């Protein structure tokens, strides 16, 4: 919340000019970055409740032709 408030103040209320720094753009970036993090957290919680969306299965065996060990991981979408 703090970054959203500071970003909004920089974007809408500050009218000072600093050479090579656009305070309005920094404010928009701060607000957008925080909102992107919040959206990803909401989507992460939603995915966590419904399942991860994939299942994996690992197997290993020895290749009879070469004698080397082969590890396989299969990922199936759910």
- pLDDT per position as a tens digit, 6-31: 888 888 888 788 888 888 888 888 88
Across 63-74, average pLDDT: 87
Q: Percentage of residues in the chain with pLDDT exceeding 70?
A: 86
Tell me how far apart the alpha carbons of residues 11 and 33 are, in angstroms, rounded to a whole number.
14
Q: Which of 58, 59, 53, 57 is nearest to 77 (CA)?
A: 53
Tell me what the pLDDT averaged over the chain comes to: 81
Q: Which of 39, 9, 45, 40 is nearest to 27 (CA)?
A: 9
Tell me what pLDDT residue 20 has.
84
Taking the model in full, what pTM does it have?
Answer: 0.46
Tell me what pLDDT residue 78 has.
53
Check if the beta carbon of residue 54 is closer than 8 Å to that of residue 66: no
Q: What's CA 12's distance to the chain center, in Å?
A: 28
């Amino acid at each position: 919340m703090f970054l959203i408030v500071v970003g909004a103040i920089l974007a809408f209320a500050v009218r000072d000019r600093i050479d090579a720094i656009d305070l309005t753009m920094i404010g928009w970036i701060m607000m957008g970055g925080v909102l992107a993090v919040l959206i990803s957290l909401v989507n992460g919680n939603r995915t966590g409740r419904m399942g991860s969306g994939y299942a994996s299965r690992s197997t290993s065996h020895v290749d009879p032709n070469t004698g080397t060990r082969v590890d396989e991981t299969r990922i199936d979408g759910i």
